[in-house]
Amino acid sequence: MALLDPIESLDPPDRPDWRSALSTAQFGPIAEDLLAVSLQAVASGSGTIARPIIDRGVDLYLRRLRSLLTIPIQVKAFQHVSPDGNGRFDLPVIEVPADPDAIMAIVHVPAPHDQLYRRVFLIPVQLFRERCPRGLVQDRDCFSFTGNFSGVVSDLWSDYLLDIERLPEWLASISGWGNPIPPVPHPPRPHSLVHGDSLTTWRGDIGRLWMATELERAGGGSIVIAEDRVRLDTLTFLLHDLSSRRMAGLHIRTGKVTPDRRIHFEVSRPPFFIDESLYVLLALLRPDDRPHDFCLLIPSDALPGLGYSSTVTLDPLTKRFEPYRVPSDEVGQVFLKRVFGA
């Protein structure tokens, strides 16, 4: 029986004969989504994909659940390659951040553009910057990448060409990915739930969107805020500092102040985790649903001692929460300084 010619055709078999005229603006996000689906599937419940709220060069963040272990991923995609499997692009140098932990994922999405080709390039960004040829293209300093997707050609990048079926091996090779996650500490004291002051989902969104605005204002374009499409653990926002390349996390709870000046919050314990760069924010809403003049910013390792379910009085503020009081108009700046430094 004759073997199939691996470069006879790069089209996946048995695909529908759709006609497509995708714009570049449509094709890029399709490629990102297809790669995200593949990575999340091969993680088998151990990982999640976050997407930036604002695009600052990183397209996807692959994160180990219940930790801040994160791989930033920049995605570049080909709609078409040559008959022998070659693809080529020019990429401005300034669009490839020098992040030692980041991955350049280069994929091919053949027509009808509904699935990845069976091989992908996963190249450490630092290596890409060191190895990729550079030249001037329309007076811009660019990386000139050429790679072959066939799997039968040895070239500059062939060591980083992976079959989709080998993605689990690649994931397992990430340092720390397979480390066990410590269990969540038990709270030292029970707290009864106060009925009538729990939140509706839309009020929770007020706190989330308000804090995203405060972080963007404080960060001044120097950070990336990313969110999981489906939240599977305690992380509301993943924060990426573009200068230090460090990661941080924020879990946001939003509460409306009751007429007797109290607030109740509850953090679900099973998906919670502790990290020195993870904080819990309790955003307080006034009766008109606008932010209160202060909020509570709590390090994750302090939460077990405070209680995962607590009712806090505001006049005066419950004593054990006093160290975590932060003016609302300063909370973005205060948080970024604590997790990323000056």
Q: What is the pLDDT of residues 219-235, one digit of tens each?
A: 999 999 999 988 889 99
Mean pLDDT over residues 4-9, rounded? 51
This prediction has a pTM of 0.88
Residue, of 201 and 304, whose pLDDT is higher: 304
| Residue 14 CB neighbour total at 10 angstroms | 5
199 pLDDT above the threshold of 60: no
- Two tokens, residue 269: 């314990």
Residue percentage of the chain with pLDDT more than 90: 73
By mean pLDDT, which of 19-23, 85-89, 129-133, 338-342 is the weakest?
Answer: 19-23
* Average confidence score pLDDT of the chain: 89
Query: pLDDT band for position 112 (50/70/90)?
Result: confident
The residue type of 107 is V
299 pLDDT above the threshold of 60: yes
CATH class belonging to 24-172: alpha beta
74 closest CA partner among 26, 118, 125 = 125
Q: Assess contact for 340 and 248: CB atoms under 8 A.
A: yes
Mean pLDDT over residues 250-279, rounded? 91
Res 113: pLDDT: 86
Res 127: pLDDT: 96
Q: Does domain 201-340 have CATH number 3.90.226.10?
A: no
Q: What is the pLDDT of residues 8-27, one digit of tens each?
A: 555 555 666 666 677 778 88
44 pLDDT above the threshold of 70: yes
322 pLDDT above the threshold of 80: yes
Same fold, 24-172 and 201-340: yes
- DSSP code of residue 78: E
- Two tokens, residue 192: 């009864």
Q: In what side-by-side order are the strands of the sheet with 47-52? A: 161-163, 119-124, 103-108, 70-78, 60-64, 47-52, 223-228, 237-241, 247-256, 278-285, 294-299, 325-327
Query: pLDDT band for position 185 (50/70/90)?
Result: low
Res 1: pLDDT: 36
Residue where the block lists tokens 């819990």: 280
Res 197: pLDDT: 40
Res 265: pLDDT: 86
Residue ranges per domain, the chain? 24-172, 201-340
Q: What is the pLDDT of residues 202-259, one digit of tens each?
A: 788 899 999 999 999 999 999 999 999 888 899 999 999 999 999 999 999 998 898 9
| Residue 254 CB neighbour total at 10 angstroms | 27
Q: For the residues of 236-287, what is the DSSP string, one character each?
A: SEEEEETTT--EEEEEEEEEEPPTTSEEEEE--STT----TTEEEEEEEE-T
Res 14: pLDDT: 63
By mean pLDDT, which of 187-191, 275-279, 318-322, 336-340 is the weakest?
Answer: 187-191
Res 191: pLDDT: 41
Query: pLDDT band for position 342 (50/70/90)?
Result: low
